[in-house]
Chains A and B, each alone.
Chain A
Amino acid sequence: MSKIKGPLKFFFILAGILLPFKAMAQNVVRYNLTVTDTMVNYSGKAKRAIAVNGQIPMPTLTFTEGDIAEIVVHNKLKESTSLHWHGVFLPNQEDGVPYLTQMPIAPGETFTYRFPVIQNGTHWYHSHSGFQEQIGMYGSLLFLKKKDDPTFRKGIDDLPQVPLILSEWTDIKPENVHRMLHNANDWFAIKKGAVQSYTEAIQAGHFKTKLKNEWKRMLAMDVSDVYYDKFLINGKDESWLPQFKAGDKVRLRLSNGGASSYFWLTYAGGRITVVANDGNDVEPVEVDRLIIGVSETYDIVVTLPEEDVAYELLATPEDRTKSASIYLGQGRIQLNSRLPKLNYFEGMKMMNGMMNMDGSMDDMGMDMSYQKMDMNIVMYPEITGNTPIKSGGLKEQNGHSTHLNRDITTLNYGMLKAPQPTTLPKEAPVREFRFELTGNMNRYVWSLDNKILSETDKILINKGENIRIVLYNGSMMRHPMHLHGHDFRLLNGQGEFAPLKNVLDIMPMETDTLEFSANMEGDWFFHCHILYHMMAGMNRVFSYKNQTPNPYLPNKVWAYKKLQSESNMFHFMAENDFASNGNDGKIMVQNTRWSLGAEWRLGYHDEHGYETEVHIGRYIGKNQWFMPFIGFDWRYRKQHGGHEKNLFGQTSTKDHRAVLSLGAEYTLPMLIQLQGEVFIDGKIRFQLMREDIPVSPRLRGAFMVNTDKEYMTGFKYILTRNLSISTHYDSDMGVGVGATLNH
C-alpha cells in the first residue's frame, strides 16, 4: 500500500545492513533506527509521512527479558523527534518524552536509548513529539519470556505468534486535524455521516430528541472525533498470514497504535481467547469480541477450524465507518459480518437523559465502572435491533435482518484477572488522588479537574509510597488514560488478583480506581492517549521528590514550561464570504482560555458601509459558555437623512464610529450566543446570534438580531472542507449570494 519513494532507497539499504546487527556481548541487543521523511499513498493521493528504516509501521523490536536494549535513533528529519517505550519499566531519562525526560532529538542528531529489559509482554513504541505518531511513528515492541520463566504458560507462551499493530490514516495533516477540532469544524461529521442534522432527526422520528439536545447546549456527539481515510493492521487495510493451517492456534500480539481510534476485534473462525493485556498475563477468558482502547495492547489466541479456508480477523473502528482485515491461513476467505452503522439518535436520546441543564452529568445512581456497562450499547444495532427506516430505501430490507444476537459476549475490564497476586507492599504509606476528567466538545477543551497541563504544577510524590488514583469521567467521551513507567493495579473486583495495566479506558460517568507502588524515581507523564486530547492539555506529571538530576535535561524548570506551552498552543481560523453584496468574514486566534477575534462586514460602496469588530476575551467555567471580553468597533456607512435610533432610544452613529467596549458572550439553550456590550460613548447593544444550525447534513442556517435594529439571516451549503456556497439577507446590505472560504 505505502510506496516509499526513490531518495529513500539509500536508507533502505543502510537499514538492511544495520537492522540484523545485534551485538550479543553482555546480552546487549541493539537496533539502529533511521527516521526519515517519506511520501505515502494510502488513499490515492501522495502525502507526507515519516518512515523508520524505510517502513511504516516502524520495525518490530524484539527482546528477551534480561537483555539490555540499545536503540540508536538517527534523526534525518527537518524537525526534532523522540521515541517513547510504551508500558516499559525503565530509568526515567530513557522514557522518551521531550522536555520532560530528555531534550528533543534535534535534526541530524543521533541519540541512544539504553535500558535493561526487566519485564515481558506485548508493548509498543511511538514518537512523543507533536503529531508524529499519527503519520507513521508507531511500532510493535515485544519482550519475550525466558524459557525457564516460572510463569511460562504451556499452550500459550509456546504458540506461534504474530505482532499486529493497529492504526489509522488521514490525508489531512494532523496539525490541521487538531485545528479543525478546536474550531468545531464539522467536516469530519459530514464525511462520517454523523452530522445528526434536523432533517435526519425528523426522518428518524427523533425531532424532539434533537431539539432537547440543542436545548441542553450539546453539539451532536460521536464516539470518535476524526474521519480517517484508511484503517490499518501492520500498515495495510487488507493483508494475509498464509503460514497457518487448519487446527493451528495462533497468538496475536495486538497493540493499538492509532492516534484516536478504538477498535472492535472480531474473528471469523470462532471465539477469541484473551491471554494478556497491556503486556501482563491474564487468566485466559473466551469472548466473542473485544474493544481495544487507544494505546492498549491485548494478546489473543485464535484457532483455524477448517482446511482450505482463511479466516478474517476484522478490526472495526468504534465509529464503524470502515475496517481493516487480516486473513489467517490459505484458501477461500471466511468473512466476518460488518458491524452495522450506529444509531446515533438513540445515543443522543440517552445523552439527553443523562445531561443536566448545567452541563454536568447524572448517572442516576448507577455506580458505573470498568467498562461493565457500555452506555453506547443503545447505538449498536446488532444488540438492540435496527431502528425502523421510514422510507422505501434503494436497498431492499429483507424481513429477516432484524434478527438479533443478544448473546454476544463482549470483554470488559471486570473479566480481567491476573494469574498471580498483584498486591502492593502492605507497610507502605498510601496517598490518594482524585481526578475528574473534564472537557467540552464545543471548543475541544480536554482537561483534568478543569485544568490543563499549563495550568498545573507537577504532582509531587515520594518514592516508596503506594499511590491510589480515583478517576471519575465527567466528560461525554471515553478516555484512555496512560501512566508512564509503571503498571497499576485496576481494582476491578478481582481482589488480590487485580489485573496490571498501564492504560485505563474510562467511559463517561464511570468511576475507576487504580493503585501503584511508586518505585521508580523520575518525572512520569500521566495523560489521555488520544493524541488530540493530549495535545489539548489533558495531562499531568507525577514527579518524585528529591530525585537525582537527569543528565539529558539539565534545566528542568525551563523544560517544564516548554512542555506546558506545547499543549496549549494558539490555533488560528479564518473565514470570508465573498458575496454579491459585500464581504463577511472573521479571523480568530484562540487557546484553551483566551480568544482574540476580529469580524468584518465590508460593502462594495459607502451606502452599504464598512465595519469591523475586534474582541479579546477569556472563557470562564468548565463548559465555557461565558466569555467576558473587551472590544473595539470601527464602522463607516454613508447615511441619507437622520440618524437611526436603537431600541433604547440611543442615536446610532453609523456614519462614523470608533469606540472601545466592554462586553460578554453567553451561550443560551439552543446554542444561541447572547452578546451584551457597553461602549465608552454610553451606547448599549445586545445581540442574539446562532451560526451553523444543522438543517441537513450539509446545509447550515444562521441568524442574528440586535438592539441596533440590525438583523441577518442566511444559509450555507458546505461543498468541501474549505468551501461553501452561501446566501444571506442583511439589514444593512440586503440580499447577497456568494462563496465562503474558510481555513
Chain B
Amino acid sequence: MTLIKSTVIWLVALATMVCSAQLKNQKTLSAKIHGNCEKCESTIENAGDIKDQSDVDWNKETKMAMISFDSLKTSIDEILKRIALAGYNNDIFLAPTDTYSRLPGCCQYKGAVKARGKSAGFNMDSETLDHVYSNQKMVRQETHLLSTVFDNYFVLKDALVNSDGITASASAKSLLRTIKDVQMEKLPTDVHMVWMKVLKPLEQDIGHIAATENINRQRVHFASLSRNIYEVLKISKPEVPVYYQYCPMASDGKGANWLSKEEIVKNPYYGSVMLSCGQTVETIKQ
C-alpha cells in the first residue's frame, strides 16, 4: 500500500514537473505541412514557435507537425497561418504565391509554380511578343530602321533601373552593334541629319558604358546618351508613344532625362533608391 502510495506521489510529481516545463493550458494537435528538407524544417518551426505560446515540431519524412500551444493564448489557426505565410501549405491555409516562389529550391514542394496575375514570366512573354511584332513591322515597312536601336536602348535602360551593371554593360555592347548596322543612307533626310550629328557622341557614351560594370559611371554616360537618343527619336517619330522623362535629383542635382515606353516612372539613375522619382516631360508619338 505504501509502495503504491509513494509511486503515485512520484508519478504525480513527475507529471507536474513535465507539465511545468511545458506550456500552460497546453493542447497538442498534429497537422500536415508540405515541405521537403532541413531548411524547410527550420523555417516552419521558426514561423510556428512563439515563446510561452506555441511549439512546433515538424518531421520531414512524414510531413506531419506536432503542434503544442497554450489554448488560452493562441489557436491552431493562428499558428498554421504563420506557417503558411512563411511559404508552407497546410490543411487550412495556402501560402502566398510570391512567398512560395522565394523559398529555397529544395523547399519548392509543388515544383516551380507559375505565379498568378502579373508575374515576371508573364511580363517577359508580352515583351518578347512586342519585340517580335515591331521587328516584323520594320521588315515590312523599312521606315523604322532605328527601331532596333531604340529597343536596345530600352533594354539598357531597364538594366540601369534594376541597378544591374553587368547586364547594362552587355546590353550596351549589343546597342553599339546595332548602331553600326544602321544604314544611314536609307534614313529620311531630316532623320539622317540628326543621326549624323549625334552618331559620334552616341558611340562614345555607349562605349564607356560597355567598358565598365560600375553602375555609377554607366549612369553618368547614360544621361548624355539619353539626350542624343531623344534627338533622334523626336525627329523619327516612333510608332508607339515614347515618354521623355526627367528626374531633377539625378546627376548630383543637375537633373537628367531618359526615355521610356511606359508612362509610369521607373528611374534609371537611382534604381530602387528613388525608383519613382521623376515625371514625364514630353510624350513623343506620330
Contact = CB atoms under 8 A, between A and B. Distances in A.
Chains A and B belong together in one complex:
yes
B248 interface: yes
A288 B278 contact: no
Contacts of B231: none
B93 A333 contact: yes
Interface string A265-299: 00011110000000000000000100000000000
Interface string B90-115: 01111110110111100000000000
Interface stretch (B185-193, B214-222, B265-273): B265-273
A271 B116 CA distance: 9
Given A270-B117, A337-B99, A364-B249, A404 B94 contact: no
A335 B279 contact: no
A407 interface: yes
Given A270-B117, A395-B46, A335 B84 contact: yes
B284 to A, nearest CB: 17
B98 A406 contact: no
Nearest to A287: B118
Interface residues of A, number: 43
B136 to A, nearest CB: 26
B271 to A, nearest CB: 8
B43 interface: yes
Given A396-B42, A398-B104, A305 B116 contact: yes
Contact of A333 (B94, B249, B276): B94
A333 B253 CA distance: 49
A640 interface: no
Contacts of B89: 332
Given A377-B275, A378-B274, A396 B43 contact: yes
B39 interface: yes
A337 B94 CA distance: 11
B265 A333 contact: no
B123 interface: yes
Nearest to A374: B276
A335 B42 CA distance: 21
A124 to B, nearest CB: 29
A270 B104 CA distance: 24
Q: Is the interface of A mostly helix, strand, loop or mixed?
A: loop
B37 interface: no
Contact of A335 (B81, B118, B265, B276): B81
B196 interface: no
Contact of A400 (B46, B102, B120): B102
A332 B93 contact: yes
A321 to B, nearest CB: 16
A366 B278 contact: yes
B94 A309 contact: yes
Contacts of B92: 332-333
Nearest to A311: B94
Contacts of B247: 366
B56 to A, nearest CB: 14
B117 A373 contact: no
B279 A366 contact: yes
B255 interface: yes
Contacts of B94: 309, 332-335
A365 B248 contact: yes
A277 B190 CA distance: 47
A401 interface: yes
Contacts of B145: none
Contacts of A288: 117-118
B85 A378 contact: no
A8 to B, nearest CB: 27
Nearest to B101: A403
B277 interface: yes
Interface string B222-250: 00000000000000000000000001110
Contacts of B43: 396, 398
A335 B85 contact: yes
A357 B140 CA distance: 60
Contacts of A409: 118, 264
B96 A337 contact: yes
Interface in A296-345: 305, 309, 332-338
Contacts of B277: 366, 373
A548 interface: no
A85 to B, nearest CB: 36
A148 interface: no
A271 B122 CA distance: 13
A336 B247 CA distance: 34
Interface in A328-381: 332-338, 346, 350, 353, 364-368, 372-374, 377-378
Nearest to B161: A406
B116 A367 contact: no
Q: What 3 A-B pairs come out closest when comparing CB atoms? A: A337-B96, A384-B272, A365-B248
Interface of B: 39, 42-43, 46, 81, 84-85, 89, 91-96, 98-99, 101-104, 116-118, 120, 123, 161-162, 247-249, 253, 255, 264-266, 272-279
Interface of A: 268-271, 288, 305, 309, 332-338, 346, 350, 353, 364-368, 372-374, 377-378, 383-385, 394-396, 398-401, 403-407, 409
24 contacts: A268-B96, A270-B116, A288-B117, A333-B94, A334-B93, A335-B81, A337-B99, A364-B253, A366-B248, A366-B277, A372-B265, A373-B277, A377-B276, A383-B272, A384-B275, A396-B42, A398-B43, A398-B103, A400-B103, A403-B102, A405-B120, A406-B272, A407-B120, A409-B118
Given A335-B95, A404-B272, 14 more contacts: A269-B116, A270-B116, A270-B117, A335-B84, A336-B96, A337-B85, A346-B273, A353-B249, A364-B248, A364-B249, A366-B277, A405-B120, A406-B272, A407-B120
